[in-house]
Amino acid sequence: MSNTQGQPQTNEQAAHGMSQVRQRVVITGLGAVTPLGNDVTSFWQSIRAGRCGITPISAYDATDQAAKLAAEVHIEPGEYVSAAEARKMDRFTLLALIAAREALRDSGISAENTNLERADVLVASGIGGLATTVREHLRAQERGWDRVSPFYIPTTIPNMAAGRIAIDSGFRGDSSCVVTACASSSHALGEAMRHIRHGYADVVLAGGAEACVIPLAMGGFTSMQALHTGSDPARASIPFDLERSGFVLGEGAGIVALESLEHALARGARIYAELSGFGATCDAYHMTAPDPEGTGAARAMRLALADAGITTSDVGYINAHGTSTPLNDKGETLAVHAVFGAGCTVPCSSTKSMTGHLLGAAGAVEGIVCALAVSEGFLPPTINYRVPDPECDLDVVPGTGRNAEVRHALSNSLGFGGHNASLVVSEYH
């Protein structure tokens, strides 16, 4: 038995359908639940229009807390699942399930055209079911520790979004969860690409979800001095602006359907773009602060470009991590300059100016942005940018988006623990 390059194939490779031929990986389905819309169409329309999804917190009374703004998702769970099912899911799992269903519908993948034993689910969450933990802790204090819900443990664990999506879709390949803080769902997309590229799977539903706009999380980030505490949504999440003072916590989910080009073509799928490169590194510097020189982030970008087989001159757009914190935006600017040169002119915007920071879901939602930027030739803006920072001297596409040809887009995600992940999304041809 041999592979298409004439090399002997091991029994293990044969058993798992593995190939030593590097498969091209394409994006055939998109799903999103965000502060800018509960489906990809409304989300993308809001991105193109430069709409801000940041508002005063409505999920609870934030009167006694310093941070009073968030980027919330507004949904009625009963429109998507039964009341009984909703009680068995943390909000992050519900958002992931909604997005996954949209991505699956959009892709047209089904049991009729796909071997579901070679269909994986890689869905990340940076924090998981924190809201459920808080609720059950309060319940236990009132009623006794043996009176917590029997669904508490399976509801709160971060891998349950992937598990529920697998149950819902019938995907019986690998189902797992990457946890690398705010880089989680970029890692999920990158690892999913590798699963397909190296022959472990034909199809992967990949992405991430987060839902922790709750007092405990807001308080934790506030005490770290990471959150913006002002009251004006238009001056809250302002990446690369000199007056930036912290990020705005958001919630949401982004799921993409990935598959091998061969599989997509065989079933006549529509292809948005190609996921062509992935690079991951660690700063090995600090628990929460990024390397101030951006060294690790720069290496991740270089690795992603090399993996995609392109150079810096091929990149037409960078979706920055761009959190609106002083340290992140300055360090990321240095990283971009280290890779693209001191005179970098590549447009580099942060859509977190519109969505807030979705933590573990951010990378997947921004990956969707890049797929649509490539397929439609549009550069999303950094909205509410007013005061240039000399230390963040990038073309942040201020205020209004632009029509432009984008053959390759680079997406950056940086997480607590020093985790860096970069993805390259390329025009399909």
CATH assignment at residue 151: 3.40.47.10
Residues in Cβ contact with 67 at an 8 Å cutoff, skipping those fewer than 6 apart:
218, 221, 222, 227, 228, 229, 249
Q: Report the pLDDT value the prediction gives residue 19, as an integer from 0 to 100.
A: 53
Domain assignment of residue 1, yes or no: no
* Number of structural domains the chain divides into: 1
Segments of the chain scoring below 70 in pLDDT: 1-20
Asked if residue 54 is part of any domain, the answer here is yes
- Give the closest residue to 135 by CA, choosing from 81, 225, 211: 211
Structural domain includes residue 347:
yes
Residue 19 inside a domain? The answer is no
- What is the pLDDT at residue 10? 44
Give the tens place of pLDDT for each residue, 146-176.
999 999 999 999 999 999 999 999 999 999 9
Q: What is the pLDDT of residue 262?
A: 98
In angstroms, the CA 192 to CA 419 distance is 17
Q: Is residue 418 part of a domain?
A: yes
The Cα 231–Cα 141 span in angstroms is 34
Q: Is residue 148 part of a domain?
A: yes
For 82, what's the count of Cα atoms within 13 Å in the CB-facing half-sphere?
2
pLDDT at 20: 63
Per-residue confidence (pLDDT) for residue 3, from 0 to 100:
40
**What is the residue range of 124's domain?**
26-426
Whether 259 maps to a domain, the answer reads yes
Residue 105 in domain: yes
Rounded-to-integer distance, Cα 143 and Cα 47, Å = 46
Task: Count Cβ neighbours within 10 Å for each residue of 316-349 and write b for 16 or more, e otherwise.
Answer: bbbbbbbbbbbebbbbbbbbbbbbbeeebebbbb
Question: pTM for the complete prediction?
Answer: 0.94
Report the chain's C-alpha Rg in angstroms: 21
Q: What's the CA angle centered on 34, arms 402 and 291, to 5 degrees?
A: 75
Enzyme catalytic residues = 182, 321, 357
